[in-house]
Amino acid sequence: MKSQTIQLPIPTNDGKFLACYSQNGLVELNFPNRPAPDRDIRSKNVPDAKIRAWHRTTGSALKKMLAGKKPKQFPPLAPAGTEFQNRVWREMQKIPPGQTRSYGEIARAIGRPKAVRAVGGACGANPIPVLVPCHRVLAANKKIGGFSGGLDWKRKLLALEGIAV
């Protein structure tokens, strides 16, 4: 059956983010002023208590991130993707704040050392930027690389963690 998702806004100093939840956890987080990708999003009117609690955690975690601090707690992350993508995203969550990795290293870590380019694709498909630190992944030569959400965001997030490029 189709997972029902609920969208809730998160107001921050940098604009209004949009979070989407399923019954399993946070599924998607969108940057402000960016059209929500049309996955299978179904809005519902009344979020239950479980989701409201997650949303509180998400908002708090996001704001800490944007303030350059490490969130003490995360909501359950339940992004919908292929097996490969899930591996990549899970691997990215392991990157400690303030550190970076290359697309090649991620590829090797998930057992597909040559799928570096595919890893780039998975990063671009990451539905939960900021919380899933796709911005900590740079090109092999420590260059900025690209960023689906806009390179300015990537630079900003990196700067917040004291990473120079």
Partner DNA sequence: ATCTTAACTGTGT
Partner DNA sequence: ACACAGTTAAGAT
- Give the CA distances from residue 154 to residues 21, 41, 148, 150, in Å, rounded to whole numbers and listed in that order: 24, 26, 9, 7
Name the residue nearer to DNA (CB basis): 19 or 115.
115
- Selected catalytic residue, list 27, 51, 122, 134: 134
Using DSSP's 3-state secondary structure scheme, residue 155 falls into helix
**Strand ordering across the sheet containing 6-12:** 6-12, 15-22, 25-30
Q: Does 152 bind DNA (CB under 7 A)?
A: no
**Measured from the CB of residue 47, what is the shortest distance to DNA in angstroms?**
27
The yes-or-no answer on residue 134 being catalytic is: yes
Residues in CB range of 106: below 8 A, 6 or more apart = 88, 91, 92, 119, 137
Q: Does 79 bind DNA (CB under 7 A)?
A: no
Out of 85, 95, 157, 161, the residue judged to bind DNA by CB under 7 A: 85
Asked if 30 touches DNA (CB under 7 A), the answer is no
Residues 87-116 that bind DNA (CB under 7 A): 102-104, 112, 114-116
Measured CA to CA, the distance from residue 107 to residue 111 in angstroms comes to 6
Report how far residue 105's alpha carbon sits from residue 126's, in angstroms, rounded to the nearest whole number: 17
Residue 147 within binding range of DNA, rule CB under 7 A: yes
Catalytic residues: 134
Residues that bind DNA (CB under 7 A): 81-85, 102-104, 112, 114-126, 129, 134-135, 137, 139-141, 145-149
